[in-house]
Amino acid sequence: MNQGQFTRLVEEFCKHCGLPEPERILHGGPIAVNDIVFSLIYSEEVNPDAIFAYADFGEAPRGSETDVFRTLLETNLSLYDGKGPTFAISPETGRVVLSACYVIADTPPDELRKHLVKMAEQAKAWRADPLFGSSKQDAQRPRPSATAFQRPGKRLSGKEHVRLR
């Protein structure tokens, strides 16, 4: 893949969606999908076969940041399948973003549009309920340890270190 294939995908996407100025989007300029701001990024150095979509979910509610960030990290564990999507905090803005990666060759313009619409729906749902249905009390409740990293038959206390060989 190369920049040319990314350019064609973005140009076709813009034509499919009736968006003017594909050049702006090609250089990381924002687009809005159902009032949610996105950036579409291509980086040959990171992955020459992929397009990265970043959805701005917004700011974590003041006073609840710890609970919200914990919930997002827990959600990352259940969402992540080796290629995403994942929640992050933008180092530039401090806002919560959902990032997703799509193979350019496997993502026609209409599919890219569907992915962005779905991410926009998720952003709106998160803005309405940043704890995904958990109460603050639930977020403070101790959680069981992740068993995938425990030795069989022995629970780790958190004070031990597991050495990988």
Is position 156 within any domain?
Answer: no
Long-range pairs for 8-12: beta carbons < 8 A, 24 or more residues apart? 9/51, 9/104, 9/107, 9/109, 9/112, 10/40, 12/108, 12/109
pTM, 2 dp:
0.78
Indicate whether 124 belongs to any domain.
yes
In a domain, 161, yes or no: no
* 34 inside domain: yes
Q: Give the separation between CA 98 and CA 38, rounded to whole angstroms.
A: 10
**119 is written with which tokens?**
């991410």
- CA–CA gap between residue 4 and residue 144 (Å, rounded): 48
Mind listing the pLDDT tens digit for each residue in 45-68?
999 999 999 999 999 999 999 999
CATH number, domain with residue 45: 3.30.1460.10
Cα–Cα distance, 103 to 120 (Å, whole number):
20
**Domain assignment present for 155:** no
For the chain, how many structural domains are there in total?
1
Domain span at 41: 3-149
Dihedral of CA atoms 22, 23, 24, 30 in degrees, nearest 10, equals 40
Residue 141 domain-assigned (yes or no) = yes
Chunked into runs of 10 residues, the chain (165 residues) has average pLDDT values of 89 93 92 94 94 96 94 89 86 94 95 96 94 62 35 37 38
| Contact by Cβ (8 Å): 47, 60 | no
Is 163 part of a structural domain of the chain? no
